[in-house]
């Protein structure tokens, strides 16, 4: 009960154009990027894959995961993520 009330009060403090889901996305992307910088590649991959569960076509997530896999000599693993970005519409890439 308290969690829902807290989430509602946090959402009320946000500017109207900021959706709580995008905040969660940004926080998780930043955590994944920090893992990469610390050399924790497996942890970063896990975070990116977790985001893709609910946002499978998100171009930024697919790009970052695909590039990370390429950089760590896993091109076959990177192909599906890079293909999603290449096939994305221009409108999706801008969001």
Residue scoring higher pLDDT (16 or 82): 82
Comparing CA positions, the residue from 72, 58, 2 lying closest to residue 26 is 58
How far lies 16's CA from each of 10, 55, 93, in Å? 12, 22, 22
Residue scoring higher pLDDT (22 or 46): 46
Alpha carbon distance 59, 65 (integer Å): 10
Alpha carbon distance 26, 88 (integer Å): 20
Give the per-residue pLDDT at 11.
42
Report, at the CATH architecture level, how domain 2-94 is classified. Answer: Alpha Horseshoe (1.25)
What is the DSSP secondary structure assignment for residue 74, as one 8-state letter?
-
The residue ranges of every structural domain in the chain are: 2-94
In this model, does residue 40 exceed pLDDT 50?
Answer: yes
Task: Please give the model's pTM, rounded to 2 decimal places.
Answer: 0.69
């Amino acid at each position: 009960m308290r969690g829902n009330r807290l989430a509602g009060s946090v959402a009320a403090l946000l500017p109207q154009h900021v959706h709580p889901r995008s905040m969660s996305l940004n926080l998780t992307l930043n955590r994944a990027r920090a893992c990469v910088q610390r050399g924790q590649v497996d942890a970063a991959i896990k975070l990116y894959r977790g985001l893709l569960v609910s946002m499978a076509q998100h171009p930024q997530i697919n790009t970052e995961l695909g590039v990370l896999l390429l950089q760590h000599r896993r091109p076959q693993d990177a192909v599906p993520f890079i293909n999603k970005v290449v096939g994305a519409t221009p409108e999706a890439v801008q969001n």
